[in-house]
Amino acid sequence: MADQLSLFPQVQTKFPTTRYQGSKAKLTDWIWEKISSLEFETCLDAFGGTGTISHRLKREFKQVTYNDSLKFNYWFGQALIENSDVLLHDHDIEWILNSFDASYPTLIADTFADIYFLEDENKWLDKVITNINRLENKYRRSLAFFALAQSCIIKRPYNLFHRKNLYVRTADVKRSFGNKTSWDRPFESWFRHFAMEANQAVFSSGITCQATNADVYCIEGKYDLVYFDPPYISSKGVGVDFRDFYHFLEGLANYDRWPEMIDLKSKHRRLIRTPNDWIDKRRIYRAFENVFERHSDSVLVVSYRSDGIPSESELIRLLARFKSDVRVERFRNYQYALSKNKISNEILLIGQ
């Protein structure tokens, strides 16, 4: 390891700040501590999300496959995991932010007026996402998209797109929560900030990593270790639907197809809903069984909450059907942003 560090000193790179619900950014060191003694070289991050775990595994010189079924997350993985040396240079940023003419589409301005952002901001978003899509290099394109998506998140109350609530930002009232300074900071300023953060996360470990955009049931390949961090279903049966919470970002990533994906009957213009086993309490057991069976030859690692559906004991029994040695690690007293649950623990199930 010392020799590798001398060859690749940039592995000390910093992962960008994130406001993504359910992110493991604050748990990466703990998770690595619990799995570092396992013997593995190739690994799959099946629900990659922000990419924090994949990035840490890449820094540990593992051959990482990042996967996420959402296209906007896949672009994050492409930018920060698969990409090893391409940066977003100042001239790229200036072109993205300043190369405008009269021919730009007005999809966001026409569809999302008075829902998430101000009128001039909506027009700006239409122009910038169009410029990003015109970039020829896929890694510059994904880095720029990452910067744009993070800019959208930080300018949203609650960092979500779950309801029409621009009024929370614009109302002239005394505030006991939220960060109006962040909300009102210009998009262009935030874009430059997150472009810099994304660049700082790019590095080469000397080992080829990749990002994929597949349904978790359809991921190809064999891996020494598979890490699962699926959506969480609370004990009350309420699932965390990331596609719903971040539908605006998924639309941005599918800009040319976005109009046909929108549920125009919804006030906040969410995407037309699609079935998802991972947020359905009736189908979640079979979902876990399917992925455990598919990767039964791999070491299986699952991030979960101790009070979810399936319950901790049920998930242990499911995992034990495929692994003779199952252990549980606990990170106590960890509470996610916006969560009111102060009782459950973050748990890590490891099956060998």
**CA distance linking residue 136 with residue 66, whole number of Å:** 22
The pLDDT, as a whole number, for residue 337 is 43
The pLDDT, as a whole number, for residue 170 is 85
> Could you give the 3-state DSSP secondary structure of residue 343?
coil
Q: Categorise residue 282: left if φ over 0, alpha if ψ from -120 to 50, beta otherwise.
A: alpha
**CA distance linking residue 314 with residue 292, whole number of Å:** 14
The pLDDT, as a whole number, for residue 333 is 60
User: Of 75, 70, 153, whose CA–CA distance to 116 is shortest?
Assistant: 153
Please say whether the beta carbons of 119 and 109 come within 8 A. yes
The pLDDT, as a whole number, for residue 178 is 59
Q: Categorise residue 138: left if φ over 0, alpha if ψ from -120 to 50, beta otherwise.
A: alpha
99-129 burial, b at 16+ Cβ within 10 Å, e below that, comes to: eeeeeeeebbbebbeebbbbeebbbbbbbbb
DSSP symbol at 217: G
Largest Cα–Cα distance in the chain? 64
Read off the tokens for 126.
């239409």
**CA distance linking residue 25 with residue 29, whole number of Å:** 9
How many residues appear in the chain? 352
**CA distance linking residue 74 with residue 195, whole number of Å:** 17
Each of the 352 residues of the chain gets a pLDDT tens digit; together they read: 434 444 444 445 788 887 777 778 889 999 999 999 999 999 999 999 999 999 999 999 999 999 999 999 999 999 999 999 999 999 999 999 998 887 899 999 999 999 999 999 999 999 999 999 999 999 999 999 999 999 999 999 889 999 998 988 888 777 666 588 899 999 999 999 999 999 999 999 999 999 999 999 999 999 999 999 999 898 899 989 999 999 999 999 999 999 999 999 999 999 999 999 999 999 999 999 999 999 999 999 999 988 899 999 999 999 999 999 999 999 866 444 444 545 678 999 999 9
DSSP string, 249-282: HHHHHTTTTHHHHB-TTSTT-PBPP---GGG-TT
